[in-house]
Amino acid sequence: MKINCCSCFKPLMLTAALAITSVVHSAEKPTNDIVKSPWAFDLNTYLWLPRIDGNFTSGPFETSASPSFIDIMGKLRNFPMTFNGHFNAYYDRIGFYLDGSYMGLDFRPQVDKGESKGVSTRMGIMEYGASYRLLGSTAAERVSKWGETPRSYNFDIYAGARTIWLGNQAEFARVSKSTNSSITAPVLGGRVMVDISPKWYVLVDGSVGGFGVDKVNFTSSALGTIGYRTRLFDVPASVEAGYKMLNVQVNGTDLTSDITMHGPYMGLTGYW
């Protein structure tokens, strides 16, 4: 009798073990599709070649010009020194961004004869704030499923600030004089990204701000690009090309400017 019980019990144990193993494997499969972390990051470095329309005024110094990128290369004493970068950090649908641009321009004097050697203008732009993704997949989902067919669009709204620093230096034969001014204004904006295919996408970003804060009557920006998703050294990446515009209207005691910069944009972004 004991032998019969053991012989019947062993097949039951084997059947139960196989059933448990099957359940475990079926539970593990969808778990692998779940995004492991809600955090995602991207870092973009870009080249912006703007035409500059308007005036640069800081204290007693003023420079008015409308040079294109070709004019800048031909008429300025030095090639403009520029730096541009953008960083995003996302937690689920909440994001934080930081964008920095720096440009240095050295204007020749209108008349070569005389004591003046020209005016140097240095302008730095820093943008920072928080965003929220209203529509579309989260940034972490996109990175985890890089190369797969994504959702057709994303829509983000954001609020933050734009800080602009302007420094002018006038050089004379024996002396040089300089002045620096900075302003900070709130901005509100939105960003839409539409997928054309799993690899190609279109991005449009626009913002407005100022509202009289810190003597900034109005400021706006617009960016339109087409991008291509790829991998660099097995890291998710994308390359972008498009057009960017920035306008700032300031009417202050130390700084009075009405500047519009617009021109081609090229970028490279890494994601993790």
Report pLDDT digits (tens) over 137-177: 999 998 988 877 666 789 999 999 999 887 777 666 566 66
Express each pLDDT in 40-80 by its tens digit.
999 999 998 888 777 655 555 555 555 555 555 554 555 45
The Cα–Cα gap between 12 and 6 comes to 10
Q: pLDDT grade, residue 251 (50/70/90)? A: confident
pTM of the entire predicted model: 0.74
Q: What is the mean pLDDT of residues 194-222?
A: 93
Superfamily of domain 38-271: OPCA outer membrane adhesin/invasin (2.40.128.100)
**What does the mean pLDDT of the chain come to?**
78
